[in-house]
Amino acid sequence: MTFLLSLSRTDNHARTGIVSTAHGDIRTPAFMPVGTAGTVKGMLPESVRATGADILLGNTYHLMLRPGAEVVAKLGGLHGFMHWDRPILTDSGGFQVMSLSKLRKITEEGVTFQSHIDGSTHMLTPERAMEIQHMLGSDITMALDECTPFPATQEQTRDSMRLSMRWAARCRDAFVPRAGHALFGIVQGGVFPELRAESVAALTSIGFDGYAVGGLAVGEGQEAMFAVLDVTMPLMPQDKPRYLMGVGKPSDIVGAVLRGVDMFDCVIPTRSARFGRAYTSQGEVNIKNARHTQDAAPLDAACTCPCCAHYSRAYLHHLFKADEMLGPILMTWHNLHYYQTLMQSIRDAIEEGRYGAFARAFVEPQEAE
């Protein structure tokens, strides 16, 4: 099995097709539910698949700390360990080192940090990131990068990006090629167009199986994010998958597809669900609100997920008020189903040559009931 992107249709910059991997095909544009520590919180793997997901995301930082990559490797790799036989992408851990770890120190060699779990000290280098992801058995491995904080000066962003590009070359050298497996480079450069262009040129010179855009959705806002994509995406190779990391809200996804992005991941649908917030065709719902106490209606009458097919808003409200774990489980199932239904609608619109109209007509649910 060769790792390959096969585009079936383009509609202006929007693209739809199939990414072939060692563990099956990924329909694009694709949304990857986040299974950071080897699980999508509250969901069986079979349930995640039933929502329409083709691929999950795991994370190097979390899995190297607990239970350890060596343990996962001995137990069948991440696919066997978590009972998911479809593709898996693993983030290299650079973002988590920035956002979670204590007393981190970045050098040319790599990053030394203290675990947020127990304070133990660890070293993550480009070579070690490749080794860990190889042990996990990732279908798509991500290069180690420094996620530049926002805001940052142009000089700080330039130095950070160039360090990430040097690390990317070391990741390419350390990656072990296998049939159906891939290594993605990560474009950095903050909100500075010339730095984004320099980063794309550096990565394409090294040569990767796919290209991600990192360092966005870190506080710059949607308008600035789209401006970065407007200048970055036309520079990206046309025949390789393009992945926008950590994005995002439904309107972020719709707008990014319009600019040529193929793959997404974000914790928003699962994290929001755990706090009682759902995306529906009629608007965003806060199921904890008192108005739902005796509401016999489903969460979303237009939805076919098990949550909406079998349970009322009143029951969901009760579960959250009683702090029952079934509440977040059902809401997570619904939100993931909403996201995967959105992705199918996006793919259909591109195939039918009407994505521009679809994007213009799309209005993200805003009002929390």
On the question of pLDDT at 101 being above 80, the answer is: no
Q: Is 145 a catalytic residue?
A: no
On the question of pLDDT at 367 being above 70, the answer is: no
Residue 363: the pLDDT is 80
**How does residue 369 score in pLDDT terms, banded at 50, 70 and 90?**
low
Catalytic member of 11, 145, 262, 265:
265
Average pLDDT over residues 267-279: 98
**How does residue 95 score in pLDDT terms, banded at 50, 70 and 90?**
confident
Could you tell me the residue ranges of all domains in the chain? 4-266, 273-358
Catalytic member of 54, 91, 139, 145:
91
**How does residue 94 score in pLDDT terms, banded at 50, 70 and 90?**
confident
Q: What percent of the chain has pLDDT over 90?
A: 91
pTM (two decimals): 0.97
Quick check: 29 and 347 in contact, CB under 8 A? yes
Q: Where are the beta strands (DSSP E) in the chain?
A: 4-11, 14-21, 24-28, 30-32, 56-59, 88-91, 102-106, 111-114, 121-124, 140-142, 182-187, 210-213, 242-244, 263-265, 277-280, 283-286
β 56-59/182-187 pair status = unpaired
66-74: long-range contacts (C-beta < 8 A, 24 or more apart)? 66/37, 66/117, 69/131, 69/132, 69/135, 69/136, 70/135, 72/38, 72/135, 72/136, 73/135, 73/136, 73/137
Residue 255: the pLDDT is 98
Average predicted confidence (pLDDT) for the chain: 96
Q: Is 173 a catalytic residue?
A: no
Asked if the 4-266 domain carries CATH number 3.20.20.105, the reply is yes
